[in-house]
Chains A and B, each alone.
Chain A
Amino acid sequence: MTKKELIVLEDVLGTNKKIAADIRAALGARGILAVNLMSSPGAGKTSLLERIVEGLKPRAHLAVIEGDIETERDAERIRAKGVPAWQITTGGACHLEAKMVGKLLPEIDADIAFLFIENVGNLVCPASYELGEHLRLVLLSAPEGDDKPKKYPKAFTTSDVLVLTKADLFPYLPFDPEKAKSEALELNPRLKVFVTSAVTGEGIEALIDYLLERRGSLTGHA
């Protein structure tokens, strides 16, 4: 037997990145803006999506992919708003991977303008897996505390948009939205920040306008 050294030089998550790049290109070519939503469990991803869907549905066709460990609950909430939704149950896995999204693509209507992908609730692992999104949103809710960005840096350094949710609770909690915002911006100065409440509707219109603008620049007619 002889010993041999094999130089490989491959990105360990390269396969996922390649699938994600193919999805991004395929959706982009069809004029579909894909948005990946990440946060801790309970930060309000589905509630935010419900408000976005209500505001955006009269103006554009959309579809939603919901990621959870178990249950069809989130997809049912979105379908109740009259928007097609697919549920991915990972059966234990803590994040979505690009191949899971890729499998659903043939079922998704080609004439939609937006595809929202709600990741599994987890502020750590989803950050390492691109899903083919054009835009990555990270949510931080008031009850979680304004000190979270630096404790979970990767979710914030890899995102394009920060949404501070549950703004209706700001008066009742020791949560300083300015501190949360400045911590996140120290990690990632490119973050576009929105403050929203799914209860009062605060900030939802501004976020929808931004999504429409981003979709406009994707398709080349703003």
Chain B
Amino acid sequence: MHELSVVSALFSTVLESAGKHQAREITLVKIKVGRLSGVVPELLVSAFDMYKKDTIADQAVLEIDLLPFRVRCRACGVESVLDEFIFACPSCGAADLEILQGTELFLEKIEVEID
């Protein structure tokens, strides 16, 4: 369970961005989490709620946009969403796939209150 480490890294970036804009309060943190990112969204929320105490993000909500595992087959060109981690094109069976989406762990935006 490395969600605490992830949230610690997330907070560094969030607080730095808020600081640059002299924000008084952070109200929302929005992240994108791919299905193959290796983190559990529920645990991210718990870790976030622990971390935000006594910071300007005390009242902030963590919004998570879950991204499916999307690939493009280099053999037949078809784009698919894989539900299981079977690395084969559902259309033609080829294993030569380009990962388009699903490994992200990305801070998209924050919402802040500024004086």
Contact = CB atoms under 8 A, between A and B. Distances in A.
Interface in A112-136: 124-125, 127-129
A185 to B, nearest CB: 8
Which of B38, B95, B104 is the most central at the interface, judged by chain A CB atoms within 10 Å of its CB? B38
B103 to A, nearest CB: 9
Given A124-B38, A125-B1, A157-B85, A4 B10 contact: no
A153 B84 CA distance: 10
B78 interface: no
A13 interface: yes
Contacts of A94: 1-2
Given A8-B107, A8-B109, A128-B37, A1 B24 contact: yes
A94 B1 CA distance: 7
A153 B85 contact: yes
A157 B87 contact: yes
Given A3-B113, A128-B2, A186-B86, A8 B9 contact: no
A95 interface: yes
B9 A13 contact: yes
A11 interface: yes
Interface string A35-56: 0000000000000000000000
B37 to A, nearest CB: 7
Contacts of B13: 8, 10, 12, 14
A182 to B, nearest CB: 11
Contacts, number: 109
A89 interface: no
Contacts of A189: 87, 95-96
A124 B108 CA distance: 25
B107 A9 contact: yes
Given A9-B108, A97-B5, A128-B37, A4 B114 contact: yes
A55 to B, nearest CB: 32
A17 to B, nearest CB: 10
Given A2-B114, A3-B113, A150-B85, A13 B36 contact: no
A217 interface: no
A3 B112 contact: yes
A189 B94 CA distance: 10
B38 A6 contact: no
Interface of A: 1-16, 93-95, 97, 124-125, 127-129, 150, 153-154, 157, 185-189
26 contacts: A1-B114, A2-B113, A2-B115, A3-B111, A3-B112, A4-B21, A4-B112, A4-B113, A6-B21, A6-B111, A6-B112, A9-B107, A9-B108, A10-B106, A11-B106, A11-B107, A13-B105, A95-B2, A128-B37, A150-B84, A150-B85, A157-B87, A185-B95, A186-B88, A186-B95, A187-B86
